[in-house]
Chain A
Amino acid sequence: MGDLFVLAEHRQGELREITFEMLSKAPEVAKELGGDVVTVLLGSGVDAFAEKLAAYSDKVLYVDDPLFADYNSDKYQKVLAELLKTHKPDVFMVGHTTQGVDMAPALAVELKLPMVTDVMDIHFSDGKLSPVRQYYSGKVNADFGFKGDPPYLLTIREASFEIVEGSKQGAIEKVESPLKEDLDYRRFIEYIEAEVGDVDITQSEILVAVGRGIREDKNMTLIEDLAKAIGADICGSRAATDAGWLPHDRQVGTSGRVVKPKLYIAIGISGAFQHLAGMKGAKTIVAINKDPDAPIFTEADYAIIDDLFKVVPKLTEKITELKG
């Protein structure tokens, strides 16, 4: 009988959504394993978090110590390694987030844990745990199995599981931190908040979004013309902001902004999950892409499978005509 451990993720005084996404899938997984859902929480002054997490867990194990005031992968690794050695769960779920991926692979190496990262679904076949992940721009899936001994470490992709309200009343157990001193080789200094530019795209009603498909800076005029014709603000994929075609505050996605406009027109964007996570809340989505297999079409309401250089100028022209 093995338990399922889930690492609670929090930052700047808030539990992050990934925590509840994992905990929403957890009961199903724990049932197959024949064990409990145990949430592991490390923080400072986090009694309230523990209470909240108890509603989603059979047990909350938590360390409350000023050493954990801010996230630090190395400190987490030290404590988690001890907890895993003591409790020997079957499975340990960690968010495939900037916190999780900064820590999980090192923990796996230290304890020789079998690990599959960026897991987007979890199946059981013949009673055996089988995580699903993707390869090649999200165009193929792969089912994995484990050969080594548990605990099995999974990093879970954000927004893979829908959040369902917790109704458990798990026990809350405080554990003494096995870490007694601060580490001197990795020091947190401060957070730097996202820069705010001239336009706040999270407030825009209509967005024209551009990706690598536009190819060059000089082609941006096509996008600007369309945006002007429909009164839209311009945003883009990470590829577009990395290339310098747009300022960073116009980036949509997990590492950019989450937008919820009335209308989102995605042009030459493939639809990597990091991008989709930022725009799938848009009311109506139009996608223009020449690749029929582009994942962006899974979120689109209207699909134009064609060359953007042929379609976009005409679209601008027709809209201008119709609006007269």
Chain B
Amino acid sequence: MKTFVCIKRVPDTSEAEVKVDATGKEVDSSRFSFDINDADNYAVEEAILIKEAKEGTVQVICLGPKDADVMIRMALAKGGDSAIRVEDPRIFAKDPLQVAKVLAATIKQEGDFDLVLTGCMSADNWNMAVGVALAEELGVPHAAMVNKVEVLDGKVKVNRELEGGLSEVLEVSLPAVLTIQTGINEPRYAPIRGIRAAQKKELKVLGLDDLGVAEDEVSEANSLIELMQMYVPELESKAEIIEGEPEEKAEIMAQKLVKGGLL
């Protein structure tokens, strides 16, 4: 099995204060901490599990800045064989269809493949689009939101997670693109020995010219969509805010629950 796995470096904004920067079209990310996108971490693990079961290779692909190398090396330490990072300021990364074009060009120039795994969603952009668009660019079938993969002869049997805990079982012929849902496996930690070995594995850095992709296919000016402005929405909350030291808050809340007949 020759597998590609697409991983993205994303900020963890679950606890961070988010402010729009001077351009009005992006946020100030100087104080964010970054790591591999949650779903992509599961995709890496799934790719390695498949390699362990069926032999073959796992190649890591990332469109992102040099700082992403740390995360890429981690994926190599866990069992990835080599990596390609694409970096080019001309790419408009807010358009998932442009991102898919770049990833497709990267995979195509590496030759044939059996499987491409992506995450089902990037935690910063929330598009849920790149993986399925990538499949179409590559001209192969796909399945999105996959939470179980079984590799058979010339095809994969997958479960797609639907709403409400329902799943759908499908058979998809190879080569194919699968977008991986969180929770599909238990991502491993990189073993120390792997971390050392990863430093010696190949990590190519390519730009649009290396990929033979024309700027006007993937640039902001030529995107069919336009991000006009970003803004922090007014949080509308009807909530009563409980004030005080932690202990006082607990006391007030306990009173409300017990005396207010909420329990």
Contact = CB atoms under 8 A, between A and B. Distances in A.
Nearest to B133: A105
Contact of B18 (A96, A140, A192, A238): A140
A155 B97 CA distance: 14
Given A102-B143, A188-B169, 15 more contacts: A73-B142, A103-B132, A133-B126, A139-B13, A140-B27, A141-B232, A142-B230, A145-B228, A146-B226, A186-B173, A249-B165, A255-B161, A291-B14, A291-B15, A314-B246
Contacts of B238: 301
Interface of A: 11, 71, 73-74, 96-99, 101-106, 108-110, 112-118, 130, 133-137, 139-148, 155, 184-195, 206, 212, 230-231, 238, 241-242, 244, 248-249, 251, 254-258, 262-263, 270, 284, 286-287, 290-291, 293, 295, 297-298, 300-307, 310-312, 314-315, 317-319, 321-323
A105 B253 contact: no
A128 B253 CA distance: 48
Interface residues of B, number: 85
Given A185-B141, A194-B166, A297-B237, A106 B228 contact: no
Contacts of A319: 254, 257-258, 263
Interface in B125-143: 125-133, 135-137, 141-143
Contacts of B166: 191-194
Contact of A192 (B120, B167, B242, B262): B167
The 4 A-B residue pairs with the shortest CB-CB distance in the complex, in nearest-first order: A194-B165, A148-B224, A314-B250, A318-B254
Nearest to B247: A314
A115 to B, nearest CB: 6
B258 A298 contact: no
A8 to B, nearest CB: 16
Given A185-B172, A318-B251, A118 B141 contact: no
A307 B130 CA distance: 36
B249 A257 contact: no
Interface string B1-19: 0000000000101110110
A32 B244 CA distance: 50
Nearest to B182: A242
A140 B231 contact: yes
B231 A141 contact: yes
Nearest to A317: B250
B76 interface: no
Given A112-B224, A255-B163, A255-B164, A190 B133 contact: no
Given A146-B225, A293-B18, A303-B239, A136 B129 contact: no
Interface in B143-183: 143-145, 157, 159-173, 181-183
Nearest to B221: A147
